[in-house]
């Protein structure tokens, strides 16, 4: 305090100050000093003091909020593991399904080609135009076809059950993803609280914010096409756009 | 269209490469090779006399759009038709791909019929 700067303290004020200090009213004492020093700024000082205390308390609260610590150190790493599980399970299911389908393709091709072999003589039989030797040949071909079909349909049935069972990932990954959605919601709430403490309204922030886009504008699959007008919704849209460009 | 043509399928997901390969095989193409992103595809293309490239856009290393631009900028590769098969669906991106000289653009999810139509169109145009 520099009393040479035209700041004068009265005896009354000094007594008051001592009284405040003796009774432990530090806030009031500080306020009085501020008032003596610069009567105009005292309100401003008080306000800054209040804000500083609020900020301090808020920061303390954040530190004390163990949930936030848990989120960062346990829940989020756990969510990453969960999402990796989803990638692995869906990849596994896709491969299991394709394994089965890829082994069905040649079976279907074999049956089709055997039907093709049988067909000319079968047609002749149907129009009563078959001699005995041809009939014997037809019987052999049909015998082969029946045996193949019998064995291979059994085989295909098994493969189709594999395809069916590979779809069990949907239930498991659905449960996992739902948990991660809950976590994201909780983190969102915490972040909104933090924004509120710092005086930023989340509605205000929403208007400015846009989903981040990588280099080359990459964004991955668009999940809310109906809410956006900068994206195509299907292949027809793509074709229309390209043809408008002279494609 | 020559079904013996050499095709390069570029996608970072092995399952998607497998789907595209199966569909191409179903359409009669047998000479198919794979790469998991643009930077793996690039050296293959340079030494590999490929006739056709099917590529994804969003990949971790070199992206599909950059692969397309590199192909168009290289005198010995510039003639190769390129089909983008991608989940990227922004109009801006489709325009960007068209300007970079793409021959076809398919958005995921897509059907076997769409792939067939686009292939027919590409090779019909090229004659």
Classify B47 as helix, strand or coil. Answer: helix
Strand arrangement, sheet containing B7-10: B32-35, B7-10, B52-55, B82-86, B104-107
- For residue A150, the model assigns a pLDDT of 95
Cβ proximity of A190 and A71 under 8 Å: yes
pLDDT band at A1 (very low <50, low <70, confident <90, very high): very low
Of the candidates B45, B93, B15, the residue with the CA atom closest to the CA atom of residue A213: B93
Would you say A115 and A67 are in contact if contact means Cβ atoms under 8 Å apart?
A: no
User: Which residues 94-153 on chain A approach chain B with CB closer than 8 angstroms?
Assistant: 94-95, 98, 101-102, 105
Q: What mean pLDDT, rounded, does chain B reach? A: 94
Question: Which strand (E) or helix (H) includes residue B72?
Answer: helix B64-73
Closest CB to A235: pick one of B26, B90, B106.
B106
Q: Is the predicted pLDDT of residue A2 greater than 60, yes or no?
A: no
Helices B38-47, B64-73: crossing angle, 10 deg rounding:
30
CB contact under 8 A, B19 and A238: no
Radius of gyration from C-alpha coordinates of chain A? 40
pLDDT at A172 over 60: yes
Contact between chains at B94 and A242 (C-beta distance less than 8 A): yes
SS3 B8: strand
Percent of chain A with pLDDT over 70: 87
Q: Any alpha helices (H) in chain A, and if so which ranges?
A: 11-22, 26-37, 42-64, 66-70, 76-126, 132-166, 169-197, 202-208, 235-244
Interface test with A, best of B14, B107, B118 (most A CBs within 10 A): B107
Q: Do B91 and A101 touch (CB under 8 A)?
A: no
Please tell me the predicted confidence (pLDDT) of residue A3. Answer: 45
User: What residues form DSSP beta bridges with B9?
Assistant: B34, B54
- Predicted local confidence at residue A204, as pLDDT: 63
Q: Do B91 and A232 touch (CB under 8 A)?
A: yes
The one-character DSSP state at B79 is T
Mean pLDDT within B77-86: 97
d(CA A67, CA B104): 50
pLDDT of residue A207: 57
* Phi, psi of A142, deg, nearest 5: -65, -35
Q: Which of B18, B22, B87 sits opposite A220 (nearest CB)?
A: B87
Q: How far is A227 from chain B, CA to nearest CA, in Å?
A: 13
Task: Give the DSSP H or E segment for B125.
Answer: helix B112-126
SS3 of A137-165: the string is: HHHHHHHHHHHHHHHHHHHHHHHHHHHHH
How close, in Å, is residue B59 to chain A by CA atoms? 9
Give which of A88, A96, A109, A92 is closest to A160, Cα–Cα. A96
Q: Which residue of B has its CA nearest to A235?
A: B107
pLDDT at A162: 93
pTM exceeds 0.80 for this model: no
Q: What is the complex's ipTM, to 2 decimals?
A: 0.87
- Does A242 sit within 8 Å of B98, measured CB to CB? yes
Question: Are B65 and A242 in contact (CB < 8 Å)?
Answer: no
Length of chain A (residues): 247
Q: Do B95 and A241 touch (CB under 8 A)?
A: yes
User: Is pLDDT of A185 > 60?
Assistant: yes
Token pair recorded at residue B74: 């290289």
CB B105 to CB A220 under 8 A?
Answer: no
Encode pLDDT of A55-113 as tens digits: 888 777 766 567 777 888 888 888 999 999 999 999 999 999 999 999 999 999 999 99
With a cut of 70, say whether residue A210 has pLDDT above it: no
Mean pLDDT of B11-29: 94
CA distance A166 to chain B (A): 14
| Average pLDDT of chain A, as a whole number | 86
């Amino acid at each position: 305090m520099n009393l040479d700067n035209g700041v004068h303290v009265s005896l009354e004020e000094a007594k008051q100050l001592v009284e405040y200090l003796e009774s432990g009213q530090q806030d009031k004492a500080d306020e009085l000093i501020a008032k003596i020093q610069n009567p105009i700024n005292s309100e401003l000082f008080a306000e800054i003091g209040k804000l500083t205390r609020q900020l301090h308390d808020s920061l303390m609260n954040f530190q004390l909020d163990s949930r936030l610590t848990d989120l960062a150190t346990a829940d989020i790493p756990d969510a990453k593991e969960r999402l990796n599980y989803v990638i692995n399970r869906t990849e596994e299911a896709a491969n299991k399904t394709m394994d089965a389908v890829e082994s069905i393709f040649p079976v279907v091709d074999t049956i089709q080609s055997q039907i093709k072999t049988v067909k000319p003589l079968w047609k002749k039989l149907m129009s009563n135009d078959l001699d005995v030797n041809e009939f014997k040949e037809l019987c052999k071909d049909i015998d082969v076809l029946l045996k193949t079909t019998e064995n291979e349909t059994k085989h295909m049935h098994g493969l189709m059950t594999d395809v069916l069972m590979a779809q069990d990932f949907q239930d498991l990954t659905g449960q996992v993803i739902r948990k991660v959605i809950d976590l994201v919601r909780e983190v969102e709430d915490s972040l909104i609280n933090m924004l509120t403490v710092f005086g930023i309204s989340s509605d205000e922030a929403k208007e400015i914010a846009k989903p981040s886009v990588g280099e080359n504008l990459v964004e991955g699959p668009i999940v809310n096409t109906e809410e956006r007008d900068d994206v195509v919704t299907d292949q027809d849209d793509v074709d229309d756009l390209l043809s408008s460009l002279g494609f | 269209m020559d079904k013996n043509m050499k095709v390069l399928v570029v996608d970072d997901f092995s399952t998607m490469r497998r789907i595209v390969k199966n569909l191409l095989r179903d359409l009669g193409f047998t000479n198919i090779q794979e790469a998991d992103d643009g930077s793996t595809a690039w050296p293959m293309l340079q030494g590999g006399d490929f006739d056709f490239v099917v590529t994804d856009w969003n990949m971790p290393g070199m992206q599909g759009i950059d692969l397309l631009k590199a192909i168009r900028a290289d005198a010995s590769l510039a003639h190769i038709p390129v089909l983008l098969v991608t989940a990227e669906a922004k109009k801006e991106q489709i325009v960007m791909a068209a300007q970079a000289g793409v021959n076809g653009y398919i958005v995921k999810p897509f059907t076997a019929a769409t792939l067939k139509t686009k292939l027919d169109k590409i090779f019909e145009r090229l004659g």
